[in-house]
A and B are shown apart, each in its own frame.
Chain A
């Protein structure tokens, strides 16, 4: 193609600010623009809370953080300093700035979290309540000062709009908020609800059989780990959790009008492999049991996490909470065993050195 305009190569990229300045875009009233942003981000927070789909949360979180960062940067640069000059607005602007600082700290903490951790959800909840309170104050106090003051709200709106888009584009280029490209395959679209329901029910029955198997595995160890008090305590707690898990699963299965025992054999074949390692009594059984328990707990966690997805796809909201609890418990056991592999192995060797056979 022919060069369109001579020596444009040397020029700066065209920015929204320039288009607005040149009258090529209709500028927004700053309060309307920011209020729209507020509604959008609050909607995203609700979306985050309303889904138990981790994939959705993982791609939503960077989007929320990027939108907030861009929005705050623009406000701080073009709105707060102007409002702060008016006596009526000085306190509001200062408070709003402090609230931004708090929000930014939370966003910073969030960026260091792995999105899979429960702590992330707590931080997001904290951020949401901080932002919600901030929005309420800003829209009632600061905006009303802005509307009464002798200000060109459209000129400020133009500056804020341009700055906000620039910041968003920069965050995108930096990769901090780049939407993941694989999420399409995780979207809950093209799903037959009845199919998801069928798999949920089948999965619940299998999970019931699996949990029974897991209970046998844990129960068999409790009395044989006298020399490992930490492990014994955890196993005892988890044994009670297993009973609760079974009760929860039975309630869910009964809710769908089925009996848990019908297909109890379906999952046995998989779990049996794990159990076999544990069943043989030997000198180092406590070590081997750690492998088996870890494998079983991870297997259960994978099954519960998948069931949560099925339940969500099937629209079975009441199943989510009990399954989430099962998932946390199995994950809890898995991480306990994992963290204590070293301790258990060391203790095992110590006991052997003491010439004392590890108690069963």
Chain B
């Protein structure tokens, strides 16, 4: 089962470039695609975007022209890979439909990572933001029904429940409480490193996506909702990127990126059910194996270090898989809804003093209008109820069961907020 890309032979770099015809892949059929096939594509697009942007940043910090050329060569292939994957999304999938896919990634990816994270602190980091992305899915599902008159389970299937998480209105925190403690790669578990690289890329792409497409609707409520949730994604990128090892050198990071991409495609190729898409992932894995080899060579040449000393494990033990995580998400909902960030830790919101910077920030940004609450109110007005998909029984948090109560419903958050106001 274990797979070590360092022991494999990849596709030679010169054979990696593709024609426009090859890159302009036939999109999937939106009525036929498996929801997790959609999420895999969204995740891998995020991984490639990170690969490209990281390479650009590294190039800007590189004085040696020859190394810049090497980076440019790798980067051109990564950019092609990004096109091949992102162009799987069909043009008739609307912006909110793609958005629902992004949030399904956030829920089921984060839940998988949390369950495969050995370090208790990092597990808390994942569980914490999981509940927030889970709430975004609910908000967007209601926006979808409100604007396009359709139900989100047509996109997400019944694989992921859609119901309130930590209400988005309460997710807005002072930026200083978003910074977590960093890991040290030489001291960290190999899986922890892979997990962190995955989530940073995924959340970063969600941030990029909302900052770009959030203005594509005419309806003010849609524009406002994207603006509000888009800023939470900015918070999440700050939250997640702060667990990365800040002491890693540019070459270590390049190496880890390529190593990580091998894991991603190795996983996706095993998990994918559509044979055409699986073939694409297998092809990309072959390319990444070669990119990893080049990154190893660069590290040896410039830093005089043995890459195998840095890479966390002898190989990958287990592939990342998209699977339904309903029971896990419910357990986290039941136990951790009231948490908020405080410095680098997580504390119950009920323990914060009333003049805490959390409440000051809340008052500043929420003012007298919360788009993500308004979406629910408006959809309830239109359809007589909010949209929910609760397949496993009533909501695990009692205060979030009734759609009568809004403004964060009857949670400790809401009570604490009222007390602070």
A36 to B302, CA, bound (A): 31
Whether the pair A4, B66 counts as a contact (CB closer than 8 A) is yes
Cβ contacts under 8 Å, B150 to chain A? none
Whether the pair B121, A43 counts as a contact (CB closer than 8 A) is yes
Known A-B contacts A67-B187, A172-B309, A179-B189; the reply to A40 vs B301 at CB < 8 A is no
Whether the pair B301, A3 counts as a contact (CB closer than 8 A) is yes
- Contact of B116 with A by CB under 8 A: yes
A56 to B120, CA, bound (A): 12
- Contact of B118 with A by CB under 8 A: yes
- Contact of A66 with B by CB under 8 A: yes
Smallest CB separation, B316 vs chain A (Å): 9
- Contact of A11 with B by CB under 8 A: yes
Smallest CB separation, A276 vs chain B (Å): 41
Interface size on B, residues (CB 8 A): 40
Whether the pair A36, B182 counts as a contact (CB closer than 8 A) is yes
Known A-B contacts A4-B301, A5-B64, A14-B302; the reply to A173 vs B309 at CB < 8 A is yes
Smallest CB separation, B58 vs chain A (Å): 11
- Contact of B94 with A by CB under 8 A: no
Q: When A and B form their complex, what is the total count of cross-chain residue pairs whose Cβ atoms lie within 8 Å?
A: 94
Whether the pair B67, A4 counts as a contact (CB closer than 8 A) is yes
- Contact of B270 with A by CB under 8 A: no
Which residue of B186, B302, B309, B344 is within 8 Å of A39 (Cβ)? B344
Which residue of B120, B246, B303, B318 is within 8 Å of A25 (Cβ)? B246
The residue of chain B having its C-beta at the shortest distance from the C-beta of A36 within the complex is B181
Interface size on A, residues (CB 8 A): 46
User: 1/0 per residue A1-37: CB within 8 Å of B?
Assistant: 1111100110111101001000011101000000010
A78 to B301, CA, bound (A): 31
Smallest CB separation, B354 vs chain A (Å): 26
Chain A residues numbered 165-201 whose CB sits less than 8 Å from any CB in chain B: 165, 168-169, 172-173, 177, 179, 181, 183-185, 187, 189-190
Whether the pair B182, A24 counts as a contact (CB closer than 8 A) is no
Cβ contacts under 8 Å, B118 to chain A? 56, 183, 187
Query: Which 8 residue pairs spanning A and B have beta carbons closest together?
Result: A184-B317, A13-B304, A168-B186, A14-B303, A4-B66, A43-B121, A47-B120, A165-B247
Q: What are 14 contact pairs spanning A and B, CB under 8 A?
A: A3-B301, A11-B304, A13-B304, A24-B61, A25-B246, A26-B246, A36-B182, A36-B344, A40-B181, A46-B120, A70-B187, A168-B186, A181-B314, A187-B116
Given contacts A168-B187, A184-B318, 14 further A-B pairs with CB under 8 A are A1-B70, A4-B302, A5-B64, A8-B301, A13-B303, A14-B304, A25-B247, A63-B187, A66-B187, A162-B247, A179-B312, A181-B314, A189-B116, A190-B116
